[in-house]
Amino acid sequence: MDLQTIIICTAIASMTLCFTMGMAWQSHKASNYIFHWMCAGACFLVSNLTAFVCIKFDVQGLLHPGIANVLYMAGHAFITSGIALYIYGKAPPYLATGVALFTLLLHLSPDFRGSVDARFIILTPVVVMLSGASITMLWHTAMRKKGRFLWPLLITITIFALQMLIRTVALLTSHDALAFTGNDIFQIAGSLAVITFISMLAVTLNYVINGEHQQMLKKLSDTDFLTGWLNRKALEPCALSCRETAQRTGHTFGIIIFDVDHFKAINDKWGHHAGDVALQQITSRAKDIVRDEDNCFRIGGEEFLIILTRCDAEQLQRVSERLRQSVASRPVMMNDKPMNITISIGSALSRHDDSGWQALFDRADKALYQSKAEGRNTVSISEPEHAAEVWQ
């Protein structure tokens, strides 16, 4: 396989990556990470086109291999910065620019431009470090969330980085110098690896984008638009997962159900907009009390449910009471006028002999009705004997 054929194949793979990411970015303009991946494809493409023209017309000097390598290195930096944007919402500023300038400065030296060995030995660690940063980010995120959409990309970058390391070790232990001819087995293997890597990037990055879109659609379908809490549709899968975890680990979890007292009267007196504002403020205060791992649901007009993961009876009672006080102690302001609002709460703790999560829900629901029967603005904790202890 001659060098020009290799470059053409790499350019085609790069064009596919650039075009695929460009089309995805047109559909998701707010997703800046896709723009970075499109820029990576563009850098790889222009890098190969530059190399092809220079070899075809025997152009030497800074343009080749200098500019071609600058764009190639910038492409790898754009991949890493795009992954950082996707995962953390921000990326190291001017990463691609810094990598490109570093590469350009190296190529200002005629000795560096003229030595394939020097270029490979110095630039390869930079690519490996960029890949290592991407691998680290993807690994930590894949182990916590979004896992199934990230694994193909993680595997692709890992294999590419490993082959780069293997080739570097092989070069350092070899007594033969590299030649930029394209017919050396060492060069051919590296070129085929780059072609495969860029081609797989087009596939795996698109898989990540589609996965993110699916998760966003699912989140929208499972989220209450007014409060931002999960809706009743999302309750059962989450409750089942909590119960399975509790059975596996031996820990207990709790359910808190609360209802806004006299909510119809609030709507009648203040208007439905005021009722919406009240629900938003109540849920905001509740969210400040619970932990990030706890799950919050709006299961009715003015009825809400919180699943406390890994909690005991004391924690359940303490959180329930804090929730009641957070609403009762501070009025909701509407047009500079205070609305005094209270909530009634029913809570229950899971038991090993529960027939299912619905049994826990029923106990908490009965405790809620007892709170209302006791005069509202109270907390009732369901006891194992199905009695309820009332706190006010």
Point out the least confidently predicted range of 172-186, 240-254, 275-289.
Answer: 172-186
- Per-residue tokens: 131: 């890949």
What's the rounded mean pLDDT across residues 306-324?
95
Residue 181: pLDDT above 50?
A: no
Residue 387: pLDDT above 50?
A: no
For residue 178, the model assigns a pLDDT of 53
Nearest Cα to Cα of residue 354 among 251, 232, 247: 247
For residue 75, the model assigns a pLDDT of 98
Are 182 and 6 in contact by the 8 Å Cβ rule? The answer is yes
Task: Specify the 3-state DSSP secondary structure of 258.
Answer: strand
What's the rounded mean pLDDT across residues 178-199?
75
pLDDT tens-digit profile of 353-369? Answer: 888 999 999 999 999 99
- Phi, psi for residue 360 in degrees, rounded to 5: -65, -40
- In this prediction, residue 374 has a pLDDT band, given cuts at 50, 70 and 90, of very high
- Per-residue tokens: 331: 């009025």
230-391 has CATH 3.40.1400.10 classification: no
pLDDT tens-digit profile of 36-50? Answer: 999 999 999 999 999
pLDDT tens-digit profile of 58-97? Answer: 777 666 788 999 999 999 999 999 999 999 999 998 999 9
What's the rounded mean pLDDT across residues 302-309?
96
Angle between helices 263-270 and 272-289 (to 10 degrees): 130
Residue of higher predicted confidence among 167 and 390: 167
Distance CA 110, CA 271 (A): 77
Residue 179: pLDDT above 60?
A: no
Interacting residues of 320 by C-beta distance below 8 A, sequence separation 6+: 256, 345, 347, 379, 381, 391
pLDDT tens-digit profile of 233-258? Answer: 999 999 999 999 999 999 999 999 99
Mean of all residue pLDDT scores within the chain: 90
Residue 304 vs residues 56, 125, 364, 389: alpha-carbon distances, Å: 70, 54, 12, 20
What's the rounded mean pLDDT across residues 94-122?
90
Residue 5: pLDDT above 80?
A: yes
Residue 322: pLDDT above 60?
A: yes
Q: Percent of the chain, pLDDT > 70?
A: 93
Residue 153: pLDDT above 90?
A: yes
